[in-house]
Amino acid sequence: MLIWAVGGGKGGTGKSLIANGLGLRLAERGSRVVLVDADFGGANQHTYCGLRHPGANLGRFFEGKASLEELILETRIPGLRMIPGNLNSPNTDGLTSAHKLKFFRHLRKLDADHVLLDLGAGTQYDTLDSFLLADVKVAVITPEPLAIENFYLFVKNLQFRQLGAVLGEMRLRDAAREVWKNRAAMGIATVLDLARHMGGTSAEFLERYRRERATLRLHLVLNEVREFRQVDQAMAARSAVLKFFQIPVDYAGFVHHDKDLWHQFGQSPGPILKGASFAMTHGLESVLDGILKARAERGLP
């Protein structure tokens, strides 16, 4: 079973839409899919699924009152099911890491081939941790400077959070904090500089961090394309993440802006994207193929 996370930083870039589209495509190709609305602050994946009044939601799970299985809802598409997000509860900033690990442990036990997490915007720890724990990491951007800037911020925070986790595990967090305090004198400016420095002091850390870093690899999706040349912006973002953060990025493809999409909401009882335009359907197909191809090239399922 594969856990996917769809994130990327800025709100409104189409993370929920892409998560829904990928889930729908996978289900139509015969997989058993569960879409999980993990946007704790702004859950709306149920609307993309065409469900108006989802009953219980993930909040019940975090309160220890329901299992994930009990929260699963059917959609009108065979093979596509979903778990609605935290609609009424206050935000979940307070999720402990024990909560999160339990969440992922239970996700892995779901009876499904693919579990897709629709993540919220921003760089809250919950979002970053869910993204880092996923097997398939999908980042969505739009061809817009602000979206791309937030994406860089998202990447930087991912890197920082991942480093922090390994430092914590190796009981090096305090030492690293000291180094970071005096970073100017040590010529340390970036997360990678800090990692390198710590690597110089502990071979064990270096080895552990290297293994963890190898799991940080992104599939980049460009959404809301309106013009031919905008595809270059995804290529630029891909290059920048590779060159400045040394994190590999596979460009998965683009989805064009569909000016009639809003019209689909509330039209039919099934998932919104069932009625999407040819170009949007095709874009989502090619994004899914792009992701699967990049994985296949690395010998992954």
Ligand X SMILES: Nc1ncnc2c1ncn2[C@@H]1O[C@H](COP(=O)(O)OP(=O)(O)O)[C@@H](O)[C@H]1O
Closest Cα to residue 246, out of 222, 203, 210? 210
Query: Site residues (CB under 6 A) for ligand X?
Result: 11-17, 121, 223-224, 255, 257-258, 261
Residue with tokens 């709306």: 44
Question: Which option in ligand X, Mg ion, other proteins, none does residue 100 bind, with CB closer than 5 to 8 A by kind?
Answer: none
Nearer to other proteins, 42 or 253 (CB): 253
Distance between CA atoms of 76 and 97, rounded to whole angstroms?
35
**Residue 216 is encoded by which pair of tokens?**
């940080």
Q: Which residue is nearest to Mg ion (CB)?
A: 16
Nearer to Mg ion, 10 or 15 (CB): 15
Is residue 16 at the binding interface for Mg ion, with CB under 5 A as the rule?
Answer: yes
Backbone torsion region of residue 224, taken as left when φ is above 0, otherwise alpha when ψ lies between -120 and 50, otherwise beta: left
Distances from the Cα of 56 to the Cα of 90, 171, 226, angstroms: 15, 39, 38
Nearer to Mg ion, 85 or 290 (CB): 85
Least distance in Å: CB of 8 to ligand X?
7
Question: Which option in ligand X, Mg ion, other proteins, none does residue 17 bind, with CB closer than 5 to 8 A by kind?
Answer: ligand X
Least distance in Å: CB of 258 to ligand X?
4
Distance between CA atoms of 267 and 261, rounded to whole angstroms?
11
Contacts of 1 (CB under 8 A, 6+ apart): 108, 110, 112, 113, 114, 115
Least distance in Å: CB of 170 to ligand X?
35
Query: Site residues (CB under 8 A) for other proteins?
Result: 145-146, 148-149, 152-153, 156, 189-190, 225-233, 235-236, 238-240, 242-245, 253-256, 278-280, 282-283, 285-286, 289-290
Nearer to other proteins, 52 or 243 (CB): 243
Distance between CA atoms of 54 and 46, rounded to whole angstroms?
7
Instruction: Name the residues that contact Mg ion, by CB under 5 A.
Output: 15-16, 39
